[in-house]
Amino acid sequence: MQDWYEYYNKQRDGSWWPDEKLYPKHLNVWDQFTLWWLTNKEEKYKDLKIEIFEDDLKWNYWSLLDRKRQPLKEDVVLLHLSCQASRKISEIKYDGLS
8-60 pLDDT, tens digit per residue, is 999 999 999 999 999 999 888 888 899 999 999 999 998 888 777 676 666 66
Question: Is the pLDDT reported for residue 81 higher than 80?
Answer: no
In Å, what is the CA distance from 28 to each residue of 33, 78, 85, 89, 96? 7, 23, 22, 28, 32
The model scores a pTM over 0.75:
no
Q: Name which residue leads in pLDDT, 53 or 94.
A: 53
- Type of residue found at 66: D
